[in-house]
Each structure stands twice: as C-alpha cells, then as structure tokens.
Amino acid sequence: MDIKTSLVTQNYAQARSAVAPETKPESGEAVLGRLVGTFAETLQQGEETARAAMTGNSDPHALVQALASTQLAVETVATVRDKVVEAYQEILRMPV
C-alpha cells in the first residue's frame, strides 16, 4: 500500500486544527468565512484527487478517502443549511 506522506500530514493538520481549542472568541462572520473556505478547500482537494486517480497518478485508497471527506463536508453543509432555514421559519412564525 502506497501512502503519500503529504496526504497523511495534511489530514493530520486538518484533524489537529479541528480539535484545537480557540483562544479568543470569533465573530460569526469570521467563523462562517473560515468554514466556507475550509469547505471549498475540501471540495478542491477531492476534485484534484479524483483527477489524479482518473489519470492513474493516485492510488485508489486516496480516492476513497477524498470522496468520503467530500461527502462528509457536503452533508455537514446541507445539515447546517437546513438548521438555518428551520430557525428562519421559526422566527417568521413568532407573533410581533
């Protein structure tokens, strides 16, 4: 099994930053911007890995891992979107 060192270190860095405690509170706009940027990077990395796999420059394990990561990112964004729409609808139902 061929494991690329850069892929492993990149995944470690992502996992490490996901569980690292934040030292100062961020504004909602900054958090949303960072999440959108991370989502876009995840999709871009998945596309690059898929292209590399189609040309034979990537191993199948990396492709499966990239697809799983992309699927998780898309499902997370869809869930957040659904919660935001639900909250907006609840606000609209409130009497004034």
Residue 55 within a domain: yes
85 or 23: which leads in pLDDT: 85
Residue 13 within a domain: no
Token duo for residue 62: 């990396």
Note the pLDDT of residue 92: 94
73 has a pLDDT exceeding 70: yes
Note the pLDDT of residue 85: 96
Buried b (16+ CB within 10 A) or exposed e, 50-87: beebeeeebbeebbeebeebbeebeeeeeeeeeeeeee
Token duo for residue 19: 């569980």
Total structural domains within the chain: 1
Residue 45's alpha-carbon distances to 60, 79, 85, 93, in angstroms, are 15, 21, 28, 41
Residue 34 within a domain: yes
Q: Which residue, chain included where needed, has tokens 């997370």?
A: 76
Range of the domain at 78: 27-93
2 or 26: which leads in pLDDT: 26
Residue 14 within a domain: no
